[in-house]
Amino acid sequence: MTVCKNLAGCAFVNCCKEYDKANSIQGFMNIYCKGSKMNSCVRLKLCESHGKQVVPKNMMPNGYPLPGTSKSGWSKEALNPRK
């Protein structure tokens, strides 16, 4: 199975493991981190274009903040990612 090369150090994945997030989050992981949309992950693209320091911890693979969180404090690159 192919998995994202950033999986081990990805804050999204690690936060989800830590908090045992909802099924919808597991769905994201199956589609992006371990699935066909991996190369569409906004986190991955931001990391490759600007470095991981601009990728917010609470950004989901689709570029939106985790439910219950906001874009407060996000870098300008994260606020306007190339999709």
- Residues lying near ligand SF4 in the complex (CB under 6 A): 4, 6-7, 10, 12-13, 32-33, 38, 41, 43-44, 61
Instruction: Please identify, using beta-carbon distances, which residue of 33 and 66 lies nearer to ligand SF4.
Output: 33
Cα 62 to Cα 43: distance, rounded to the nearest angstrom = 8
Q: What minimum distance in Å lies between the beta carbon of 76 and ligand SF4?
A: 19
Non-local (6+) Cβ contacts of 47 within 8 A are 6, 54, 55
Q: For the chain, what is the largest distance between any 2 Cα atoms, rounded to a whole number of angstroms? A: 35
Instruction: Please identify, using beta-carbon distances, which residue of 4 and 78 lies nearer to ligand SF4.
Output: 4
Instruction: Please identify, using beta-carbon distances, which residue of 12 and 81 lies nearer to ligand SF4.
Output: 12
What's the token pair of residue 52? 């991981």
